[in-house]
Homo-oligomer: A and B are copies of this chain.
Amino acid sequence: MQSSRLRGPTYHSSPSSHSSKQLVSRSMAARRLLCSLFLAAALFGVASAATRRHDWDIGYQFTSPDCVRKLAVTINGHTPGPTIRAVQGDTIVVAVKNSLLTENVAIHWHGIRQIGTPWADGTEGVTQCPILPGDTFTYTFVVDRPGTYMYHAHYGMQRSAGLNGMIVVEVPPGGQPEPFAYDKDHTVLLNDWWHKSTYEQAAGLASVPMVWVGEPQSLLINGRGRFVNCSSAPTTAASCNVSHPDCAPPVFAVVPGKTYRFRIASVTSLSALSFEIEGHEMTVVEADGHYVKPFVVKNLNIYSGETYSVLVTANQDPNRNYWLASNVVSRKPGTPTGTAILSYYGGRSSPRARPPTPPPAGPAWNDTAYRVRQSLATVAHPAHVVAPPVSSDRTILLLNTQNKIDGRIKWALNNVSFTLPHTPYLVAMKRGLLGAYDERPPPETYDHAGYDVYAVQKNPNATTSDGLYRLRFGSVVDVVLQNANMLGPNSSETHPWHLHGHDFWVLGYGAGRFDPAVHPATYNLKDPIMKNTVAVHPFGWTALRFRADNPGVWAFHCHIEAHFFMGMGVVFEEGVERVGELPPEIMGCGKTRGGH
């Protein structure tokens, strides 16, 4: 990683003397970058900002994250990839070289709003064509807010293959101070892990009858776990090596008396998790880059796509080690606890020594009320409330159902299962390419008065569409996500919904059927937290509000990899006419194939 402090005026040099087409194109790219830099400077009063360049090589690598050898997709040979550390206002430049053999790639910067750079969101089919083997695509964007974020592949089910990592953005010197103090931070990236390849998983999902991915074999903390059946299961005995360095347990060292900020992100493909540090209370202070009114938990519920910061004081007996533990909740667990070790400097225990107690098993997996309470407790820090607009211009009600289309199980919103177009929306809309996607918008609502969310849907049929919602630029939009019973009786899951390009206010959660005549009156307009990912609890609803003020095209979808693959998503467009000239590098597929 190279880092260089840039001064604004350096970028003022006029490109007018350039004559060749290539140079003009370069100067346009420079101007776009310049805009972003100035925007960042203007927004945050930062006098100077750094440009932090990373060169990434995406390749196949045999890894043993849970001691079982598997081919992973890696960044510079590693999974997870490197943590990107930056300061608010910095420009991040990541040159992504695709060294895979036949497979394309795209990387999403999860939680970064991409203000002024919608083409850098990394969402294949929405904001860009994928990066072909042998090609290098350079993502350039500004990290405009401090906080804890992540990155991961956003193409097929490639995230599950190992392409993920964390982004940490610090408050700059002289910036607005954070409403809490700590001595040092630790990063904790939570994941779930399968031994089957993502190609096999995807082929199973698309089969008739569907082959579900099943529960993960292991839970990983910072890319490490331990498959329990290593020696007993014949299918893995040959490829399982419990002393492989890839699966050595992560150790988090602390100094007695000091306070640590644990920056925690979940990039799981499926699992909702409960995270804890044995014997230590955690004070929740940040969620998705926003400051939380502090509250203390023993277990942090964290859904795929969410990030949290918790403060932990090293105030326990330093002469033993403690477990960091990750347990599956919301689905009946079929996976053992994921573990790491908390170890005190200067204590009598060896840093890698197994704690004397068994790893914590977490709360009851089906205690929904417990998890809803934590969702409700997550509100804005009093000194950092961003007041939501008091009303919205438009409300979109989305009924989340499991459906059957052509014998395949799908997920649908208002009975429409989402498919990605092959020409990215951003390109198709800017260029006016007709027929690139269905111009008919998906339905705005459903028959909410007559729908029993606790019953099996009478007619599980649905249609597929790549239509999208076009939002009036600057308008305020409410979305209510209504969960329901699945295809089988008495079943409903938790869905973590992630919005690209925005943070939204979380206005409320409810159990059962949402009633638009009743429930909006219960919304929290006083101190709602802003987030980019939010849970929709079983048989419940979640209401959120956002301002459609970021020109671009933005995905909004369940962050469970298999669910998005099965159609659980929608797309919003706003102010696409305000988006500047698109970088040609995002094109080359679908209707822009071969320079069309």
Give residues in A with beta carbon < 8 Å to B: 59-62, 71, 101-105, 129-130, 132-135, 155-158, 197, 199-200, 202-204, 206-207, 234-235, 237-238, 422, 583-590, 592-596
| Cβ-neighbour of A202 out of B60, B105, B134, B156 (below 8 A) | B60
Contact check, A203 vs B60: say whether CB atoms are below 8 A apart. Answer: yes
Q: Separation in Å of the A99 CB from the closest CB of chain B?
A: 9
9 contacts between A and B (CB under 8 A): A101-B199, A102-B103, A102-B156, A132-B590, A132-B593, A197-B199, A235-B235, A584-B596, A588-B595
Residue of B nearest to A134 (CB): B422
Given A155-B102, A588-B588, check contact A593 B135 (CB 8 Å): yes
In the assembly, what is the distance between CA of A496 and CA of B524, in Å? 73
Contact check, B592 vs A587: say whether CB atoms are below 8 A apart. Answer: no
For A585, the chain B residues whose CB sits under 8 A away are: 593-594
For A206, the chain B residues whose CB sits under 8 A away are: 59-60
Q: Separation in Å of the A122 CB from the closest CB of chain B?
A: 14
A135-B593, A235-B235 known; 6 other A-B pairs, CB under 8 Å? A101-B157, A130-B132, A132-B589, A234-B235, A592-B594, A595-B596
For A596, the chain B residues whose CB sits under 8 A away are: 584, 595
In the assembly, what is the distance between CA of A537 and CA of B470, in Å? 66
In the assembly, what is the distance between CA of A102 and CA of B73, in Å? 12
| Cβ-neighbour of A589 out of B61, B202, B203, B588 (below 8 A) | B588
Contact check, A422 vs B158: say whether CB atoms are below 8 A apart. Answer: no
In the assembly, what is the distance between CA of A585 and CA of B590, in Å? 10
Residue of B nearest to A137 (CB): B593
Contact check, A101 vs B202: say whether CB atoms are below 8 A apart. Answer: yes
Contact check, A203 vs B71: say whether CB atoms are below 8 A apart. Answer: yes
In the assembly, what is the distance between CA of A593 and CA of B25, in Å? 14
Given A104-B132, A197-B199, A199-B197, check contact A593 B589 (CB 8 Å): no
For A60, the chain B residues whose CB sits under 8 A away are: 199, 202-203, 206
Contact check, B197 vs A61: say whether CB atoms are below 8 A apart. Answer: no
Residue of B nearest to A593 (CB): B588
Ranked 5 nearest A-B pairs via Cβ: A134-B422, A595-B595, A584-B594, A234-B234, A102-B156
For A587, the chain B residues whose CB sits under 8 A away are: 593-595
Q: Separation in Å of the A132 CB from the closest CB of chain B?
A: 5
Contact check, A71 vs B197: say whether CB atoms are below 8 A apart. Answer: yes
Contact check, B207 vs A135: say whether CB atoms are below 8 A apart. Answer: no
Residue of B nearest to A101 (CB): B156
Residue of B nearest to A102 (CB): B156
For A155, the chain B residues whose CB sits under 8 A away are: 102
In the assembly, what is the distance between CA of A238 and CA of B237, in Å? 14
In the assembly, what is the distance between CA of A60 and CA of B202, in Å? 9
Q: Separation in Å of the A234 CB from the closest CB of chain B?
A: 3
Residue of B nearest to A124 (CB): B102
Given A130-B102, A156-B101, A234-B234, check contact A62 B207 (CB 8 Å): yes
Given A62-B207, A200-B71, check contact A589 B104 (CB 8 Å): no
Given A71-B197, A234-B234, A595-B587, check contact A422 B203 (CB 8 Å): no
For A593, the chain B residues whose CB sits under 8 A away are: 132, 135, 584-585, 587-588
